């Protein structure tokens, strides 16, 4: 049975954060994708970020640092929900099926996964302290369902 | 690794991740966010790629299968 917790989250659609073998997976509302990717880059303490996507059939690749990622994403907002987007960090890769559905491939320990999940959830107005894996969190209608 | 190859493996990974979730995603989500992008990648590899690209896709899929096998054993 999931554990229900009241949150102060406002205007949330559904958000999912899961641990997976070899990474994590996420469902993020489209309006929050840029913020999510910046948070991920900061949490992973990466130096360089490489974004690639298809634009009208043409393959486009861009590189930046974590510090300049937010500015870069602002210029390419329309591609952030595209299934062709791939975001490569120093030692991690983010794949997406589009529409905010992400899979993070990275060698992370349970503590690191919990820290990333807590950071992402906090950005959407929810404070949870996840400490072990596997876990699965669903934010829906201002409530967090936690499966462990 | 060419972009369509990398994307195909990535979309297969997204599909595998959903299969391992503690809750079931909707059929529409699976179709729209995983199966259809993967079909587009495979079509692109077949139409524009080489035999080696196709082989790399299979190798990438196989690595993802090994990830599932590790979960099943644990």
- Give the pLDDT confidence of A81-127 residue by residue, as tens digits: 999 999 999 999 999 999 999 999 999 999 999 999 999 998 888 88
Chain A residue closest in CA terms to B2: A59
The residue written with tokens 């302290």 in the block is A129
In this predicted structure, the answer to whether residue A49 has a pLDDT above a threshold of 90 is: yes
> Using the beta-carbon criterion (under 8 Å), do B13 and A21 form an inter-chain contact?
no
**Long-range interactions of B31-34: CB distance < 8 A, separation 24+:** B32/A97, B32/A98, B32/A99, B33/A83, B33/A97, B33/A98, B33/A99, B33/A101, B34/A97, B34/A101
Of the partner residues B22, B37, B67, the one whose CB lies closest to the CB of residue A97: B37
Predicted model pTM: 0.90
The interface predicted TM-score (ipTM) is 0.91
Measured distance CA(A7)–CA(A126) in Å, rounded: 6
Q: What pLDDT shows up at residue B74?
A: 58
CB of B34 less than 8 A from some CB of A = yes
> Using the beta-carbon criterion (under 8 Å), do A21 and B21 form an inter-chain contact?
no
If phi over 0 gives left and psi between -120 and 50 gives alpha, with beta otherwise, what is residue A98? left
Element (H, E) at A15: strand A15-20
pLDDT band (50, 70, 90) for residue B72: low
CB of B53 less than 8 A from some CB of A = no
Beta bridge partners of A105: A23, A93
Chain A residue closest in CA terms to B31: A97
Residues 6+ away with beta carbon under 8 Å from A38: A66, A69, A70, A73
In this predicted structure, the answer to whether residue A73 has a pLDDT above a threshold of 80 is: yes
pLDDT per position as a tens digit, A1-39: 444 444 444 344 689 999 999 999 999 999 999 999 999
Q: Helix, strand, or coil here: B7?
A: helix
Query: For residue B60, which phi and psi values (nearest 5 degrees)?
Result: -65, -40
CB pairs under 8 A between A and B: 68
Chain B residue closest in CA terms to A23: B17
Q: How many residues does chain B have?
A: 74
> Using the beta-carbon criterion (under 8 Å), do B20 and A20 form an inter-chain contact?
yes
Q: Helix, strand, or coil here: A25?
A: strand
- Nearest-CA distance A25 → chain B (Å): 7
Beta bridge partners of A132: none
């Amino acid at each position: 049975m999931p554990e229900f917790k009241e949150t102060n989250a406002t205007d949330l659609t559904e958000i999912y954060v899961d641990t997976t073998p070899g990474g994590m997976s996420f469902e993020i509302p489209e309006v929050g994708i840029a913020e999510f990717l910046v948070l991920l880059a900061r949490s992973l303490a990466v130096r360089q970020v490489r974004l690639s996507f298809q634009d009208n059939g043409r393959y486009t690749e861009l590189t930046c640092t974590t510090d300049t990622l937010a500015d870069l994403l602002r210029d390419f907002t329309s591609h952030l929900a595209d299934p062709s987007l791939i975001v490569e960090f120093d030692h991690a890769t983010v794949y997406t099926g589009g529409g905010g559905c992400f899979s993070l491939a990275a060698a992370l320990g349970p503590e690191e996964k919990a820290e990333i999940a807590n950071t992402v959830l906090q950005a959407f107005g929810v404070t949870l302290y996840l400490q072990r894996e596997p876990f699965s969190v669903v934010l829906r209608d201002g409530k967090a369902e936690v499966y462990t | 690794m060419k972009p369509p190859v990398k994307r195909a493996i990535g979309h297969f990974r997204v599909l595998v991740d959903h299969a391992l979730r503690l809750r079931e995603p909707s059929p529409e989500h699976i179709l729209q966010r995983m199966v259809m992008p993967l079909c587009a990648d495979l079509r692109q590899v077949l139409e524009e790629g080489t035999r080696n690209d196709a082989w790399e896709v299979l190798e990438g899929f196989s690595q993802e299968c090994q990830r599932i096998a590790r979960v099943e054993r644990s």
